C-alpha cells in the first residue's frame, strides 16, 4: 500500500507541476494579450477624439469639451476621459473622476515632454485603471493632453478564472490518476505478484504447478522467463537428487547432468572444458530482417550440446551463419543457448575459399568418402590440402588464444575436420590434455593408403593424448594403419601409439544421446498422429519415419526401394502404410551431394507415381531442416524407424527414436553397418544392400506382437538410458585425466 501511495503522490506532483507550469505560461500570454488589446482600443478612441477636441481647444469652448468628455465616458470599460491644458489644469473631465484626478497625472507630463502618446497601469482612487495619454496640438504647438481611463480589473478577474479552472482541472486529474493507478497496480502488479507467489509456494511445497499460472504480461515477461528457467532447473535438480537416491538404494550408477558436472569439476579441478568442432551448436541466420537462432543438423551437435549445457565451458566452431557475426562480442564470443545461457561459443571466421577447400573439398570430398568406403571415389586436390592446413591452423590459433592463463587445459577435438590440429596445439602447449574423437568410421590400411597425405594426417592425430572411436573395430583399423605408415611403436596391450616420446591412447567410446526424464503428462499420440497426417495431407493407418542428413552414406535410395519392395510383396498395406523421410539438405555445394539429392527426390516421386492414390502416398519426403521439437512427434507416433546406413560411425537417430518411446511402442530397423548396431541388439538388424530382407523387416516391425514389441523396446531403452551421452563424456574425461605424460616405457623417446 505504501508503494501505491508514493506512486499516486509522485504522479499527482508531476501532473500538478505540469498543469501549473502550463497555466503560468498561459496567464502571462493572456495578460500580455489583454493589455495589448486594451492599449489598442485606447489609441483608436483617443485618435478619433483628437480630431474633435483640438478645434474646440483652439476656440476655448470648455462646455462643449465637457459634454464631449461626458458622452464618451459612458462607454463599456471606459472609466472616464479628461482634457488638460499644457500646465496640467483640467479643462474637461468626466464627473466620476473630477474628485479623483484634480490635476493632470504625471504620465501626462511625461507625454508632453516626449511629444508622443504614453500608457500605464495605475491605481486611482483604489481602482486599477489603464491610463492612455495623447498630446493635443493647436497651430503646431502643444496645447494640452487627452487622457483616457479604462477599467483594468476585468483582466485580473479573467486571469483569476484561468487559475481557478486550472485548480479544478488538476483536482479532477489527481482523483482520476489515483483511481487509475489503484486499478493498474491491482490488476497489473498486486494480482500478478500474488499469482506468482502462489505459484512459487506450490513449487516449494513439491507440487507441480501449471506454468500457465505465471503472469505473462509485458512487465513481467523477463521475470516470468527467468522464473520458468529457474523452476525447470529446480525440477531437474530435484529429479536428479531423487534418482541419485534411488540409484544408491539399488546400488546402480546412472550418469546424469549433475553427476557429470561434479565429475568434470573434480577431474578438471575447476578448469574449463574446451570443445573444438567445425559445426557450431547454435547458428544465427537472417529471416527477413530478423536474426533467428537455429540448431544445425548433425550427430555431433546432438551429442555434445547436452554435455556442454551440463558442464559449461567453451565451444570453438566455424561461424557459418549469415547473421553470426552480428551477434558476437568484440572477441567473437556469444553465450548459448540463447534462452538459457550455459556456456560460451567462440566463432572462427573462414574465407569463402578456405571453406570451399578445407570443408567442402578436402574434408568432405576427400576424407569423408575415404573413411566411409561408400562407392564414391575420394577427391584429393593439392589446393584443398593447403586450405585444410590453413583452417586447422586458424582453429589452433583461436584455441591457443582462449587457453592463455589456463594450466593443463583439456580439449575435446571433434572429427575428421581437425586431424592436424592436435599436433599444432601440442607443439605450443605441451601441458594441454587433448582428445581427438573421430565420429566417422576408420577404414582398413589399404583404403586409407589412397590419401596422398596420410602420413601428415596420422602425425597430426598422434599429437593428441587420446584418440577415440565409436567401436573397437575402428580402433583396430587405426592402429593397423599407423603401424603400416609411420615409424613408431605400437603397444597393443595398452592400445597406444608412442611417437617421438609422446604416448597416444586409442580406445572405443560409443557415443550416445541425452536420455530425457519421463514427461509429467504423456503426450496424446493419437492427436499428434492425426495432426501429422493432416499436415502431410495423407491418410494412413501405419506410419514409418527416417531422419537423416541427405548423404549418400545413409542408404536412402536402398530404403526407398525396400519400401517399394514391401508394397509389392505385401499389397495389403497399400493405402495403409506411409513412410515419412525427414532429410536436411547438406553440403549441396558439392556436386555429388547436389546430384544425390536430385536422385532421392526422383526415386521418391517414381515410387509414389507407381502406387498413385488420391489421398495416400507411400513416401513423403520432407527435404528441409527440422529441429528436435518438430521431429519428436514423428518419433513418438511412428510404428517403425529406419536407419539404413551403408557405413556409419555410430548414427544417433536410432537412439533418439528409442529415447522418445516412453510408451514402449515402435520398432527400430537398423543397418548392420552402423556403429549403433553393436549396442542395440534388440533392433531389427538388416543389411541395407539386401532389399528383399529389408522389406521383410518392415513387415515384421508392423506385425510384431505387442509383448515382443514392448520387451524389445524396454531392453533398448535400458541400454540407451544407462549408456547415455553423460556416461560417454564422463568416461572420456576420466580416461584423459588418467594419462600421465611421464609414464612412458623406457627407450621410447627416440
Q: Do residues 551 and 644 touch, judged by C-beta distance below 8 A?
A: no
Domains 2-157 and 525-723 share a fold: no
With CA atoms as reference, report the closest residue to 636 among 508, 528, 551, 741.
528
Q: And the C-alpha cell for 702? A: 508392423
Confidence band for 667, pLDDT divided at 50, 70 and 90: very high
Cα(717)–Cα(624) distance, integer angstroms: 29
Q: For cell 482520476, what's the residue?
A: 176
Q: Which helix (H) or strand (E) is 317 found in, with range?
A: strand 314-318
Residue 252 has pLDDT above 70, yes or no: no
Give the number of C-alpha atoms closer than 13 A to the C-alpha of residue 132, restricted to the C-beta side: 24
Q: Domain 525-723 class?
A: alpha beta
pTM, two decimal places:
0.70
Section 151-173 average pLDDT: 81
110-124, 220-234, 537-551, 733-747: range with lowest mean pLDDT: 220-234
In this predicted model, which residue has the larger pLDDT, 229 or 605? 605
Cα(52)–Cα(44) distance, integer angstroms: 14
Question: Residue 748: its pLDDT value, please?
Answer: 46
Question: Residue 202: its pLDDT value, please?
Answer: 67
Cα(629)–Cα(641) distance, integer angstroms: 17
Confidence band for 65, pLDDT divided at 50, 70 and 90: confident
Section 476-483 average pLDDT: 97
Highest mean pLDDT among 2-6, 160-164, 229-233 belongs to 160-164
Burial (CB count within 10 angstroms: exposed 0-12, middle 13-18, buried 19+), residue 141: exposed
The contacts of residue 262 (CB under 8 Å, 6+ apart) are none
Percent of the chain residues past pLDDT 90, beyond the cut: 52
Residue 104 has pLDDT above 60, yes or no: yes
Section 151-164 average pLDDT: 82
Strand order in the sheet with 489-491: 333-336, 343-348, 314-318, 273-276, 410-414, 433-437, 466-469, 502-508, 496-499, 489-491
Question: In angstroms, how far is CA 656 from the centroid of its own chain?
Answer: 25
42-56, 335-349, 691-705, 712-726: range with lowest mean pLDDT: 42-56
Residue 633 has pLDDT above 60, yes or no: yes
Q: Domain 266-508 class?
A: alpha beta
Confidence band for 2, pLDDT divided at 50, 70 and 90: low
Highest mean pLDDT among 187-196, 238-247, 663-672 belongs to 663-672
In this predicted model, what pLDDT tens digit does every residue of 259-283 receive, in sequence order? 888 888 888 888 889 999 999 999 9
Cα(455)–Cα(451) distance, integer angstroms: 9
Beta strands in 464-576 (DSSP E): 466-469, 489-491, 496-499, 502-508, 542-549
Question: Residue 542: its pLDDT value, please?
Answer: 97
Section 66-93 average pLDDT: 77
Identify the three-state secondary structure at position 78.
strand
Q: Which residues of 228-242 are buried (b: 16+ CB within 10 A; e: fewer)?
A: eeebeeeeeeeebee
Q: Which residues of 659-676 are buried (b: 16+ CB within 10 A; e: fewer)?
A: bbbeeeebbbbbbebbbb
Residue 232 has pLDDT above 70, yes or no: no
Domains of the chain by residue range: 2-157, 266-508, 525-723
Section 678-689 average pLDDT: 96
Angle between helices 299-311 and 257-268 (to 10 degrees): 70
Q: Do residues 295 and 282 touch, judged by C-beta distance below 8 A?
A: yes
Cα(227)–Cα(229) distance, integer angstroms: 5
Question: Residue 432: its pLDDT value, please?
Answer: 94
Question: Residue 11: its pLDDT value, please?
Answer: 73
The contacts of residue 327 (CB under 8 Å, 6+ apart) are 284, 291, 334
Cα(437)–Cα(508) distance, integer angstroms: 9
Residue 570 has pLDDT above 80, yes or no: yes
Question: Residue 226: its pLDDT value, please?
Answer: 65
In this predicted model, which residue has the larger pLDDT, 219 or 445? 445
Section 617-625 average pLDDT: 93
Question: Residue 747: its pLDDT value, please?
Answer: 44
Fold of 2-157: Beta-Lactamase (3.30.450)
In this predicted model, which residue has the larger pLDDT, 13 or 451? 451
Residue 681 has pLDDT above 90, yes or no: yes
Confidence band for 412, pLDDT divided at 50, 70 and 90: very high
174-183, 255-264, 413-422, 624-633: range with lowest mean pLDDT: 174-183
Bridge partners for 547 per DSSP: 582
Confidence band for 573, pLDDT divided at 50, 70 and 90: very high
In this predicted model, which residue has the larger pLDDT, 153 or 464? 464
89-93, 407-411, 462-466, 474-478: range with lowest mean pLDDT: 89-93
Residue 746 has pLDDT above 60, yes or no: no
Section 26-41 average pLDDT: 82
Question: Residue 616: its pLDDT value, please?
Answer: 95
CA distances from 453 to 51, 279, 389 (A): 119, 24, 11
Question: Residue 155: its pLDDT value, please?
Answer: 81
Cα(550)–Cα(572) distance, integer angstroms: 30
Confidence band for 302, pLDDT divided at 50, 70 and 90: confident
Question: Residue 619: its pLDDT value, please?
Answer: 97
Cα(728)–Cα(582) distance, integer angstroms: 27
Q: For cell 544465427, what's the residue?
A: 284
Query: 78-85 and 141-151: which strand pairing?
Result: antiparallel
Residue 248 has pLDDT above 90, yes or no: no
Section 178-187 average pLDDT: 76
With CA atoms as reference, report the closest residue to 668 among 705, 648, 699, 639.
639
Question: Residue 241: its pLDDT value, please?
Answer: 60
Section 598-609 average pLDDT: 96
In this predicted model, which residue has the larger pLDDT, 128 or 473? 473
In this predicted model, which residue has the larger pLDDT, 496 or 627? 496
The contacts of residue 234 (CB under 8 Å, 6+ apart) are 203
With CA atoms as reference, report the closest residue to 259 among 655, 716, 729, 721.
729
Cα(176)–Cα(172) distance, integer angstroms: 6
384-398, 482-496, 582-596: range with lowest mean pLDDT: 582-596
Question: Residue 251: its pLDDT value, please?
Answer: 41
Section 303-313 average pLDDT: 87
Residue 53 has pLDDT above 90, yes or no: no
Residue 301 has pLDDT above 60, yes or no: yes
Residue 511 has pLDDT above 90, yes or no: yes
Cα(728)–Cα(652) distance, integer angstroms: 13
Section 284-293 average pLDDT: 89
Question: Residue 434: its pLDDT value, please?
Answer: 96
Question: Residue 732: its pLDDT value, please?
Answer: 92
In this predicted model, which residue has the larger pLDDT, 590 or 67? 590
Q: Do residues 322 and 352 touch, judged by C-beta distance below 8 A?
A: no
Question: Residue 683: its pLDDT value, please?
Answer: 97
In degrees rounded to 5, what are phi and psi of residue 59? -80, -20
Cα(499)–Cα(487) distance, integer angstroms: 8
Residue 12 has pLDDT above 80, yes or no: no
DSSP 8-state assignment for residue 443: -
Q: Do residues 53 and 68 touch, judged by C-beta distance below 8 A?
A: yes
Residue 71 has pLDDT above 90, yes or no: no
Residue 86 has pLDDT above 60, yes or no: yes
Would you call the peptide bond into 337 cis, given omega within 30 degrees of 0 as the criterion?
yes
Beta strands in 625-689 (DSSP E): 640-643, 667-671, 684-686
Residue 249 has pLDDT above 50, yes or no: no
In this predicted model, which residue has the larger pLDDT, 14 or 561? 561
Q: For cell 519392395, what's the residue?
A: 565
Residue 199 has pLDDT above 80, yes or no: no
Cα(317)–Cα(346) distance, integer angstroms: 6
With CA atoms as reference, report the closest residue to 559 among 690, 700, 702, 709.
690
Question: Residue 224: its pLDDT value, please?
Answer: 63
Cα(342)–Cα(308) distance, integer angstroms: 7
Amino acid at each position: 500500500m505504501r508503494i501505491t501511495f508514493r506512486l499516486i503522490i509522485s504522479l499527482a506532483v508531476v501532473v500538478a507541476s505540469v498543469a501549473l507550469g502550463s497555466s503560468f505560461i498561459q496567464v502571462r500570454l493572456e495578460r500580455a494579450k489583454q493589455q495589448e488589446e486594451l492599449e489598442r482600443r485606447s489609441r483608436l478612441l483617443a485618435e478619433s477624439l483628437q480630431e474633435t477636441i483640438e478645434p474646440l481647444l483652439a476656440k476655448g469652448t470648455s462646455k462643449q469639451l465637457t459634454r464631449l468628455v461626458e458622452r464618451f465616458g459612458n462607454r463599456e470599460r471606459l472609466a472616464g476621459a479628461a482634457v488638460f491644458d499644457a500646465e496640467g489644469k483640467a479643462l474637461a473631465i468626466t464627473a466620476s473622476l473630477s474628485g479623483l484626478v484634480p490635476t493632470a497625472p504625471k504620465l501626462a507630463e511625461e507625454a508632453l515632454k516626449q511629444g508622443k502618446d504614453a500608457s500605464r497601469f495605475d491605481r486611482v482612487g483604489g481602482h486599477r485603471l489603464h491610463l492612455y495619454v495623447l498630446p493635443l496640438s493647436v497651430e503646431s504647438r502643444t496645447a494640452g493632453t487627452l487622457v483616457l481611463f479604462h477599467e483594468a480589473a476585468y483582466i485580473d478577474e479573467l486571469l483569476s478564472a484561468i487559475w481557478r479552472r486550472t485548480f479544478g482541472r488538476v483536482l479532477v486529474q489527481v482523483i482520476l490518476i489515483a483511481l487509475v493507478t489503484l486499478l493498474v497496480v491491482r490488476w497489473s502488479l498486486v494480482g500478478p505478484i500474488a499469482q506468482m507467489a502462489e505459484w512459487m509456494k506450490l513449487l516449494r511445497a513439491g507440487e507441480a504447478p501449471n506454468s500457465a499460472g505465471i503472469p505473462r504480461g509485458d512487465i513481467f515477461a523477463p521475470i516470468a522467463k527467468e522464473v520458468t528457467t529457474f523452476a525447470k532447473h529446480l525440477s531437474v535438480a530435484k529429479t536428479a537428487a531423487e534418482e541419485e537416491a534411488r540409484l544408491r538404494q539399488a546400488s546402480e550408477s546412472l550418469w546424469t547432468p549433475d553427476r557429470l558436472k561434479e565429475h568434470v569439476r573434480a577431474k578438471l579441478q575447476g578448469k574449463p572444458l574446451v570443445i573444438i568442432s567445425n559445426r557450431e551448436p547454435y547458428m544465427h541466420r537472417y529471416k527477413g530482417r530478423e536474426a533467428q537462432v537455429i540448431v544445425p543438423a548433425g550427430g555431433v551437435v546432438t551429442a555434445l550440446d547436452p554435455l556442454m549445457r551440463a558442464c559449461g565451458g567453451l565451444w570453438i566452431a566455424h561461424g557459418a551463419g549469415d547473421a553470426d557475426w552480428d551477434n558476437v562480442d568484440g572477441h567473437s564470443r556469444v553465450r548459448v543457448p540463447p534462452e538459457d545461457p550455459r556456456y560460451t561459443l567462440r566463432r572462427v571466421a573462414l574465407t569463402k575459399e578456405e571453406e570451399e577447400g578445407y570443408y567442402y573439398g578436402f574434408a568432405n570430398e576427400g576424407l569423408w568418402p575415404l573413411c566411409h568406403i561408400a562407392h564414391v571415389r575420394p577427391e584429393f586436390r593439392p589446393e584443398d590440402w593447403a586450405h585444410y592446413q590453413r583452417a586447422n591452423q586458424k582453429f589452433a590459433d583461436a584455441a591457443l588464444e582462449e587457453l592463455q592463463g589456463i594450466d593443463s587445459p583439456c580439449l575435446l577435438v571433434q572429427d575428421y575436420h581437425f586431424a592436424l590440429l592436435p599436433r599444432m596445439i601440442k607443439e605450443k602447449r605441451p601441458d594441454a590434455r587433448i582428445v581427438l574423437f573421430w565420429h566417422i568410421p576408420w577404414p582398413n590400411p589399404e583404403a586409407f593408403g589412397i590419401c596422398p597425405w596420410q602420413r601428415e594426417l596420422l602425425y597430426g592425430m598422434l599429437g593428441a593424448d587420446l584418440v577415440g572411436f565409436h567401436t573397437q573395430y575402428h580402433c583396430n583399423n587405426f592402429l593397423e594403419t599407423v603401424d603400416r605408415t609411420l615409424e613408431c611403436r605400437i603397444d597393443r596391450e595398452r592400445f597406444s601409439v608412442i611417437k617421438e616420446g609422446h604416448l597416444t591412447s586409442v580406445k572405443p567410446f560409443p557415443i550416445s544421446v541425452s536420455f530425457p526424464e519421463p514427461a509429467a503428462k504423456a503426450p496424446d499420440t493419437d492427436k499428434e498422429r492425426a495432426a501429422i497426417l493432416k499436415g502431410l495431407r495423407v491418410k494412413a493407418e501405419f506410419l514409418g519415419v527416417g531422419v537423416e542428413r541427405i548423404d549418400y552414406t545413409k542408404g536412402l535410395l536402398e530404403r526407398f526401394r525396400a519400401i517399394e519392395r514391401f508394397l509389392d510383396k505385401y499389397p495389403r498395406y497399400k493405402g495403409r502404410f506411409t513412410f515419412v523421410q525427414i532429410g536436411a539438405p547438406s553440403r549441396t555445394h558439392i556436386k555429388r551431394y547436389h546430384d544425390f539429392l536430385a536422385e532421392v527426390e526422383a526415386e521418391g516421386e517414381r515410387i509414389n507415381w507407381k502406387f498413385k492414390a488420391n489421398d495416400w502416398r507411400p513416401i513423403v519426403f520432407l527435404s528441409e531442416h527440422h529441429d528436435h521439437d518438430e521431429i519428436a512427434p514423428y518419433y513418438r507416433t511412428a510404428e517403425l524407424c529406419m536407419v539404413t546406413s551403408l557405413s556409419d560411425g555410430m548414427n544417433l537417430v536410432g537412439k533418439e527414436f528409442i529415447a522418445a518411446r516412453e510408451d514402449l511402442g515402435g520398432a527400430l530397423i537398423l543397418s548392420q553397418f552402423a556403429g549403433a548396431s553393436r549396442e542395440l541388439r534388440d533392433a531389427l538388424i538388416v543389411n541395407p544392400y539386401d532389399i528383399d530382407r529389408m522389406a521383410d523387416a518392415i513387415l515384421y516391425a508392423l506385425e510384431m506382437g505387442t509383448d515382443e514389441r514392448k520387451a524389445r523396446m524396454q531392453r533398448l531403452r535400458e541400454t540407451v538410458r544407462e549408456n547415455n551421452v553423460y556416461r560417454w563424456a564422463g568416461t572420456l574425461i576420466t580416461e584423459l585425466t588418467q594419462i600421465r605424460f611421464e609414464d612412458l616405457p623406457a627407450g621410447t623417446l627416440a
